[in-house]
Structure 1
Amino acid sequence: MGGGGWYYVPKVWTPYGGWWADPKHWKRSTAMAGVAVGFSFLYLFSVSIERERRPIAPASHIPSQKWCKYAKVDDPSLQ
C-alpha cells in the first residue's frame, strides 16, 4: 500500500512559485495587502459619505442615514 510514490511534476517556471510554493515572508505580505485593502475601503467609504444624496426621501429608515452628510437636508422627517 504505502503513501507517496512518484508523480509527474512538469518543470516549468511560474510567477506564483510553482506547485508547492512557500515564499519568504508570506504572512507579512498578506498582512500588508490586507492593510492596503482596509485603507482603500476606508477612503472609498469616506468619499461615499460625502457624496451620497437622496433626491427622493426613502419610505423607511436606511442605516446609511446615520452617517450621511446630507441626510437631514434630503429627508426633513429625520430627527
Structure 2
Amino acid sequence: MGGGGWYYVPKVWSPAGGWWNNPANWKRNTGIAGAVVGILAVGLFQVSSSRERRPIPPPWHIPSQYWCKHAVEDDPRLAK
C-alpha cells in the first residue's frame, strides 16, 4: 500500500508562501513587526494609565496603582 514517496505540487501559490517556506529577510521583517507591536503596547499603556480611575477604592492594593495617575485622588489611603 506504500507509495513512491510524498507527492506534492512543486508550483503552489498561497498567501503564506506554500510548503517549505523560507522568505527573504524574515528576520528583519519579524524584528520590524515586533518593534511596531512594542511601540503600540507602550502607547496603549501610557493612555491606559493616564485614564484609569477607581470611583470606589479597592479593598486591597492593586499593582497598577503604582503607575496610575489618579491613584492618590481615588484612594486616600495611598497619600503618605
- TM normalised by structure 2 equals 0.87
Between the aligned partners of 1:26 and 1:65, the Cα distance in structure 2 is: 40
Supply the AA of the counterpart residue of 2:7: Y
Q: Distance in 1 between matches of 2:38 and 2:28?
A: 15
| Residue number in structure 1 paired with 2:51 | 51
Aligned-residue offset at 1:7: 1.0
Partner of 1:72: 72
The alpha-carbon deviation at position 60 of structure 1 amounts to 0.6
Cα shift at 1:25: 0.4
- Structure 2 equivalent of residue 33 of structure 1: 33
* 2:77 partner SS: coil
For 2:58 and 2:47, locate their aligned partners in 1 and report how far apart those are by CA, in whole Å.
21
CA distance in 2, matches of 1:76, 1:69: 13
Structure 2: gaps spanning 5 or more residues: none
In the alignment, what sits opposite 1:21? 21
Give the distance between the partners of 1:51 and 1:60, measured in 2 at CA: 20
Q: Which residue of 1 aligns with 2:5?
A: 6
How well do the aligned residues superpose, as a CA RMSD in angstroms? 1.2
Measured after TM superposition, the shift of residue 22 of structure 1 is: 0.4
Paired letter, 1:25: N
TM-score, with structure 1 as normaliser: 0.88
Comparing 10-19 with 58-67, greater Cα deviation is found at 10-19
